[in-house]
Amino acid sequence: MILRQIWAVYKRELGLYFRSPIAYAVAFALLLLFGLIFSSNVSQLNNRAPADNLNFIPSLLTFLMFLVGPLMTMRLLAEENREGTIELLMTLPMSETAFIVGKFFAVWTYYSVVLGLTLVYYLVLTTIGVPDHGRALGVYLGAWLYGGTVLAVTMIWSAITEDQIVAAFLGAATVLVLYLADLAAQFVNNLSFTENPEFITGLANGIRELGLTAHYNSTMFVGVIRAEDIAYFIFMIIAALFITTRIVETRRWRA
């Protein structure tokens, strides 16, 4: 039953994405930027570097997700909140969970399509060099999960606020914090005023574990798949969607 509900929401949202020119404009901007960087790197590194050095586009996309992710999700719930359609949707015989999960899968699908388009660069690499296919699998799997996590996290802000710009701004700030957790961990690790260095090291490791890059850049990006990294991304998505669902449900409670 709930799967049918999720499917209905998913179809509606996906249709909205692919009927909206903005989705194509975002994809165009991204692909133009990637194209510029990729082609200039091909010229510069020709005959000088292995093909794997050029397989950085998915990683670049994950970096840009702190900007692109909130743009993709800001509309999802904030617009429904602002226009009051969410109250209407709440009257339908549909659970909040199906509503949120359906919307999430739709935006994740859109992200997957953009990510899939970057495979063109990889196919180009195979014609001029010998890239490591196994490593590429890790790179793309990681970028896909990374993107899903960012989208799920930024959806929380879209559910909280009615203002799309505020949702995008707060979403970008949250993703940036998660992106920079590695640096924060380094900062904490370098604190020397404490007499308990093990605690500081543990705290630094904990902060790093919370961050996105520790689960992508150091492992999946180089072709190493760790169960803990996959679990991190999946659990982050589950947690973010759970929180988003709770937030949406509070509207019914308030009403």
Residues 64-123 that bind other proteins (CB under 8 A): 117, 120-121
- Asked if residue 243 lies in contact with residue 156, where contact means CB atoms within 8 angstroms, the answer is yes
- CB 198 → other proteins: shortest distance, Å? 9
Give whole-number Cα distances, 197 to 183, 185, 186, in Å. 18, 14, 13
193 binds other proteins per the rule CB under 8 A: no
Cα distance between residue 71 and residue 179, in whole Å: 17
- The secondary structure element, H or E, covering residue 123 is helix 119-128
- Which residues in the 126-165 window bind other proteins by CB under 8 A? 127-135, 137-138
Q: Which one of residues 85, 88, 116, 197 is an interface residue with other proteins (CB under 8 A)? A: 197
Q: How many residues bind other proteins (CB under 8 A)?
A: 74
- Which residues in the 9-38 window bind other proteins by CB under 8 A? 18-19, 21, 23-25, 27-28, 31-32, 34-36, 38
- CB 24 → other proteins: shortest distance, Å? 2
Q: Which two tokens stand for residue 181?
A: 């957790």
- CB 18 → other proteins: shortest distance, Å? 7
Stretch that binds other proteins, among 45-53, 77-85, 151-159, 163-171 (CB under 8 A): 45-53
Q: Which two tokens stand for residue 130?
A: 């010998």
Length of the chain: 255
Cα distance between residue 243 and residue 234, in whole Å: 14
